[in-house]
């Protein structure tokens, strides 16, 4: 409660995010959602765009695991929109990867490949080797799973 008294928004956002993740790991998706949405709202209130994007990524995972694919897609696409508007390339790549995962779970492989290829092209453009490698790995796995060895 000390963070609340001092109005330390970063600590509040971090604490709510961690609490949401703890509930997620306990498979308590309703409470995970509640705390992550609260953390996202707090991040938005102070224009902490990077935190908001990351929290939307966590929500995407929660919704996928809870078989709420439409909500997962909604937050994945919102993270993409925010990252594009803020011109945050690394966060955009991660959001594109998350959206690809959602599309893959929906069995929309065409869209999944589209998002992954977009992420790869952007990672190559900004010369980010770890993200480039991650995109290649995910594409290879996706081709393997699709039967396109």
SS (H, E, C) the chain: CHHHHHCCHHHHHHHHHHHHHHHHHCCCHHHHHHHHHHHHHHHHHCCCHHHHHHHHHHHHHHHHHCCCHHHHHHHHHHHHHHHHHHCCHHHHHHHHHHHHHHHHHCCCHHHHHHHHHHHHHHHHHCCCHHHHHHHHHHHHHHHHHHCCC
φ and ψ of 7, to 5 deg: 60, 45
Residue 2 has pLDDT above 80, yes or no: no
Q: What is the pLDDT of residues 112-135, one digit of tens each?
A: 999 999 999 999 999 999 999 999
Residue 101 has pLDDT above 50, yes or no: yes
Number of residues assigned to the chain:
149
147: confidence class by pLDDT, cuts 50, 70, 90: confident
pLDDT attached to residue 1: 43
**Mean pLDDT, rounded, for 32-49:** 96
């Amino acid at each position: 409660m000390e963070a609340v008294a001092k109005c330390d928004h970063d600590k509040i956002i971090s604490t709510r995010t961690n609490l949401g993740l703890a509930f997620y790991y306990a498979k308590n998706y309703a409470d995970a959602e509640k705390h992550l949405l609260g953390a996202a709202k707090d991040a938005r209130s102070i224009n902490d765009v990077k935190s908001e994007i990351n929290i939307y990524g966590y929500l995407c995972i929660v919704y996928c695991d809870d078989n709420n694919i439409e909500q997962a897609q909604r937050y994945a696409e919102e993270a993409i929109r925010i990252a594009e508007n803020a011109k945050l390339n690394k966060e955009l790549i991660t959001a594109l990867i998350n959206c690809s995962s959602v599309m893959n779970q929906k069995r929309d492989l065409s869209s999944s490949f589209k998002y992954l290829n977009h992420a790869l092209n952007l990672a190559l453009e900004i010369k980010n080797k770890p993200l480039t490698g991650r995109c290649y790995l995910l594409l290879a796995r996706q081709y393997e799973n699709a039967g396109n060895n």
